[in-house]
Amino acid sequence: MPITATHIRATVDAYLNVRPEEKERLACITALLDDPAADIASRKEFRGHVTAGAVLADPAGRVLHIEHLALKRWLLPGGHLEPGDATLLAAALRELTEETGISASAVVPVGECPVHIDVHPIPANPAKGEPEHRHFDFRFMFRTAADVGELQTEEVTDAAWRSADTIEDEALRDRVLLALR
């Protein structure tokens, strides 16, 4: 069963119960959830749509980064929702395993609530017929003792374990460092 607006709303509400100071920053998500014509689980919703990301930490407290082929940047694993994804957490785990080759059975989620929800602009992509839009990236934290497997070469060119303090997003970095203590 695909991810529903009800599930997304419940996830946002659970996140805001822990971080009420982010209500205004995430108002763009809740506004779309209030719009019956919006389907923010669909990548065709160009006012903004949900993506799922994974922060994977190893026993040494390092975080796995991937080099994204199209963007030519080091990022955390993640991507768009798929029709078979039942939850946002499951979508983040699926993206993690697809991109890194690490078995889902070797990964343990650190809670069911996102560690961070990011809202960021995505530039227009005329080749795909996509206008500029926003991603609502629900980032979940996981732990593993496994190493990287076979990379998804259609999207990923490399993977590296890096110190958590190298995470670019300050809010995410602070939360990950706190969780690793």
- Assign residue 84 the CATH number of its domain: 3.90.79.10
Question: For residues 41 and 50, is the Cβ–Cβ distance under 8 A?
Answer: yes
Question: For residues 79 and 70, is the Cβ–Cβ distance under 8 A?
Answer: no
Print the domain residue range for 62.
5-180
- Structural domain total, the chain: 1
**Cα-flanking dihedrals φ and ψ of residue 6, to 5°?**
-65, -45
| Residue-level pLDDT at 153 | 84
| Residue-level pLDDT at 82 | 95
Q: Taking the C-alpha atoms of 138, 143, 147 and 151 in order, what is their torsion angle to the nearest 10 degrees? A: -10
| Residue-level pLDDT at 154 | 84
- Residues in the chain, total: 181
| Residue-level pLDDT at 87 | 97
Q: Going along 39-155, which residue ranges are E strands?
A: 49-57, 62-68, 73-75, 78-80, 107-109, 116-122, 133-144
| Residue-level pLDDT at 73 | 87
- Token digits for 176? 């990950």
CA distance 92 to 140: 7
State pTM to two decimals: 0.94
Containing 19, the helix (H) or strand (E) segment is: none
pLDDT digits (tens), the chain, 181 positions: 689 999 999 999 999 999 999 999 999 999 999 999 999 999 999 999 999 999 999 999 999 999 988 778 899 999 999 999 999 999 999 999 999 999 999 999 999 999 999 999 999 989 889 999 999 999 999 999 998 988 888 888 899 999 999 998 999 999 999 999 8
